[in-house]
Amino acid sequence: MIGNKNNQRKKELMSEQNIVISCNNLEEKYRFNKVAKQASGAVMYSCGDAVLLAAIAIDTNPVEEDFLPLTVQYIEKSYAAAKIPGGFVKRETKPGDFETLTSRIVDRSLRPLFPKGFHYPVVVTITVLSADENVDMQVAAMHAASAALYTSDIPISQAVAAVRLGKIDDEVLVNPTLVEQEESTLDLLVVGSGSDILMIEMCVHASQKGDVQLTNELEEDELLEIIDIAQTAIEQATKEYEVGFKSAKKDELVLELAQEKEDEELYNFIAENYVDEVAQAVQSMAKSERSEELKKVRQSIMEALEEKGEEVDKELVSKMLDAYKKSVVRSLILDKSIRADGRALNEVRPIDIETNLLPSVHGSCLFTRGQTQALVTATLGDIKEAQSYDLIGSKSVRYETFMVHYNFPAFSVGEAKPARAPGRRELGHGNLAKRGLEPTLELNRDGTIRLVSEILESNGSSSMATVCGGSLALRAAEIDTSKLVAGIAMGLVTDGKKHCVLSDIMGLEDHDGDMDFKITGTKDGVTAMQMDIKLGGIEAEVLKDALYQAKEGRLHILGIMEEALKEMTPSLALPSSIEFSIESSHIPAIIGKGGGTIREIIEKHGVSIDIDRDANIVKITGSSKEDVNSAKAFIDTITSTPIKKQMIYEINKQYSGKIKKILDFGMFVEMPDGYDALLHISKVSKGRVNSLEELYSVGDTIDIIVLEQKGKKVELCTPAYLL
């Protein structure tokens, strides 16, 4: 039982409270009891011109399942940026990627705050009412949601704080502005409460220094120092929040926490009689095999209980068996340094790599690590195929030229479920892989790259398999990356006194462990990181151990990837492209009248053609070298034809021309240089001429005199006109 039993939820309206907190380079205003007063908790948050409404609602009827039904929704309204939604439907529809990823960050940060056994549905809604292009909306959303939850009638005793750190010219910035973030080589978001870190998201950005492009990976020691800066800032901020919000905190609801179904006698019965069976099930190599073995053990326990004449509760047997299995897994690791599959704590599962196995794909890699397998493909496209997207604070449309799409079909874990649209998990894993790989790509690359990761089998860290397979798929597609990138998932098991860090965790260790820590990097340092703590927090020494053990595993994987590159064969499906310079005077001839010539080249040769008029460069791209070369040969015939330059005629001099066309108002005469000039009917003779066709025929040779020339415009007359 938690909460104050003597207090009921207050129905009366409370007076409005305005609280201003200045901390970590942010000045934030929190307005409580102003709006959404029927919600369990609500706050109107302001920072700069950004205004967000965070509202919390709880269903006091708990779910029967053993989990926390928490839902976080971050919603951006177009009117917040003085915009009307684009498209046919003029209202907000499904959330964009940024909204989904922000919702996920808030969810992962708030979830550890709820006590064990809290099974009441809670919905956190964060709505952007006014946008500011200089405000970090993820930090704002985190703080608004935390304030609403902390001051609500839900029994939560901690506030959280988010800190984003950047790095410009070796200077670490705390909560940099969005303009500074654009220049920063580091993007590190840390969320915590007090001295505890709850969540970390980190990536680096490549930069240009002279003619050299820098990947800007962080070495482990430097990363630890920067995280320490964030931890200090978080501790200071959460203290100020908890003191500042104290007066706005509502009386807590009286809620009963679900009690764990426990039966000490049944647990001891399993521990005494099924030691070998559970150990054998735990050490089954495949995830499906382990599940089947545990089902057999459960059935055996139930049959033994029935023979003893005892009442059998299948759910209770499953729960006690799972609890005993968990204790076996953890004690093997902590007491004997033995993992379920027999590996050493720092050992990576066997890796197998096959590249360019798909004949019609630009680049492909089948990356298998233990029972986790990812098929990653790379597709190259034109710059026009970039993904356009809007940010609520941005005035212009942005374009994503590097995409990583992660798919997790149900069959990868042996489940019989139909395929569905990508969810938050898929978007989050794809985004992590993208952030890990992008720093190795050319900054000023021409074109669009799309990686797609199809998870074919999953038993631990398919997102890191996506990173490894993605880095190799880029090389298989002949993309010039500065370095290979590998990813590894780390785990942690601790009893409070002793801890063991696990490299390349499998699903069992993720489920029964205390940390999920994913790290990507090159041989020179870390490019991206994501950490979720299942404990109250993580000590600096444990984090240091995890980082250095991850480095050891990462270098091992990179070595195997380097060997795979030596055996890589080129893809026959790769598109071909060529760039060459031309004279600006040839561009009109290549384009042709109304674009007819360039369209003919594109259709006939099956290529795309881009002409840079400023640089006088033509780029031809096609599905094969033959198509590209034939298109270039055609253009060469155009550019090799000499361009006729118009003569500079001598005024009042007589020339001989050929009549090309006769019209009512005059006739076109072909001049000696091939240009057609107009001889107006009024300039044929002194007297009035009613019909030129009575005097001349097309093809006749005629003497003309040049009266005036302005560029290409030539004014003619006949000798008779001057008499």
DSSP labels for 9-24? PP-SPPPPEEEEEEET
- Average pLDDT, integer, range 49-64: 95
Which CATH number applies to 351-566?
3.30.230.70
The confidence score (pLDDT) of residue 613 equals: 86
Strands 161-168 and 398-400: unpaired
Rounded distance between C-alpha atoms, residue 37 and residue 604, angstroms: 67
Closest CA relative to residue 425, chosen from 652, 27, 107? 107
- Calculate ∠ Cα 595-599-604, nearest 5°: 155
The confidence score (pLDDT) of residue 625 equals: 78
- Find out whether 598 and 620 touch, Cβ atoms under 8 Å: no
Q: Flag whether pLDDT at 591 surpasses 70.
A: yes
Rounded distance between C-alpha atoms, residue 322 and residue 663, angstroms: 97
Return the CATH class of domain 576-640.
alpha beta
pLDDT tens per residue across span 304-356: 888 887 877 788 888 888 888 888 888 888 888 888 888 899 999 999 999 99
The confidence score (pLDDT) of residue 10 equals: 47
- Average pLDDT, integer, range 473-490: 96
Q: Where are the alpha helices (DSSP H) in 513-613?
A: 540-566, 587-591, 596-605
522 exposure class (CB count in 10 Å sphere: 0-12, 13-18, 19+): buried
Q: Where are the alpha helices (DSSP H) in 308-350?
A: 314-336
For the chain, give the longest Cα–Cα distance: 135
Q: How confident is the model at residue 7 (pLDDT cuts 50, 70, 90)?
A: very low
Least confident span in 267-271, 310-314, 332-336, 669-673:
310-314
Q: What is the mean pLDDT of the chain?
A: 89
Give the count of beta carbons closer than 10 Å to the beta carbon of residue 165: 21
Closest CA relative to residue 579, chosen from 556, 554, 607? 607
Helix axis angle for 97-110 and 137-150, nearest 10°, is 40
Closest CA relative to residue 244, chosen from 22, 411, 530, 474? 22
Cα-based distances in Å from 628 to 51, 362, 395, 497, 604:
53, 17, 39, 66, 11
The confidence score (pLDDT) of residue 67 equals: 86
What are the residues facing 656 on neighbouring strands? 703
- Find out whether 164 and 497 touch, Cβ atoms under 8 Å: no
Rounded distance between C-alpha atoms, residue 54 and residue 34, angstroms: 12
The confidence score (pLDDT) of residue 287 equals: 63
What are the residues facing 672 on neighbouring strands? none
Rounded distance between C-alpha atoms, residue 659 and residue 661, angstroms: 6
- Find out whether 379 and 452 touch, Cβ atoms under 8 Å: yes
pLDDT tens per residue across span 162-186: 999 999 999 999 999 888 999 999 9
CATH 3.30.1370.10 in the chain, residues? 576-640
Rounded distance between C-alpha atoms, residue 690 and residue 7, angstroms: 108
Q: In which element (H, E) is residue 214 found?
A: strand 212-214
Rounded distance between C-alpha atoms, residue 638 and residue 591, angstroms: 10
Q: Where are the alpha helices (DSSP H) in 56-112?
A: 97-110
422 exposure class (CB count in 10 Å sphere: 0-12, 13-18, 19+): middle
HSE-CB of 363 using CA atoms within 13 angstroms: 23
- Find out whether 18 and 130 touch, Cβ atoms under 8 Å: no
The confidence score (pLDDT) of residue 643 equals: 61
Rounded distance between C-alpha atoms, residue 45 and residue 136, angstroms: 13
Q: Where are the alpha helices (DSSP H) in 567-651?
A: 587-591, 596-605, 625-640
Position with higher pLDDT, 671 vs 40: 40
pLDDT tens per residue across span 483-497: 999 999 999 988 878
- Beta-carbon contacts of 669 under 8 Å, excluding residues fewer than 6 positions away, are 657, 658, 659, 660, 676, 677, 678, 679, 702, 704, 716
Strands 448-457 and 402-407: parallel
Q: 184 in the Ramachandran plot: left (φ > 0), alpha (ψ -120 to 50) or beta?
A: beta
What are the residues facing 442 on neighbouring strands? none
- Average pLDDT, integer, range 563-577: 88
Which CATH number applies to 654-722?
2.40.50.140
Question: Which tokens go with 611?
Answer: 């002409």
Q: Flag whether pLDDT at 5 surpasses 60.
A: no
Helices H, strands E: what count in the chain? 16, 31
The confidence score (pLDDT) of residue 44 equals: 98
666-670 sheet: strands from edge to edge: 676-680, 666-670, 654-663, 701-710, 713-717
CATH 3.30.230.70 in the chain, residues? 17-248, 351-566
- Average pLDDT, integer, range 399-413: 93
- Find out whether 46 and 28 touch, Cβ atoms under 8 Å: yes
477 exposure class (CB count in 10 Å sphere: 0-12, 13-18, 19+): buried
Q: Flag whether pLDDT at 417 surpasses 50.
A: yes
The confidence score (pLDDT) of residue 276 equals: 82
Helix, coil or strand: residue 210: coil
The confidence score (pLDDT) of residue 285 equals: 56
Return the CATH class of domain 264-336.
mainly alpha
Helix, coil or strand: residue 89: coil
The confidence score (pLDDT) of residue 11 equals: 43
- Calculate ∠ Cα 246-248-249, nearest 5°: 70
Rounded distance between C-alpha atoms, residue 25 and residue 139, angstroms: 12
pLDDT tens per residue across span 118-155: 999 999 999 999 999 899 999 999 999 999 999 999 99
Most confident listed range (30-44, 248-262, 674-688, 709-723): 30-44
CATH 3.30.230.70 fits 17-248, yes or no: yes
Helix, coil or strand: residue 75: strand
Rounded distance between C-alpha atoms, residue 623 and residue 574, angstroms: 7
Closest CA relative to residue 718, chosen from 674, 659, 648? 659
Q: In which element (H, E) is residue 225 found?
A: helix 220-244
- Average pLDDT, integer, range 217-246: 95
- Average pLDDT, integer, range 562-585: 87
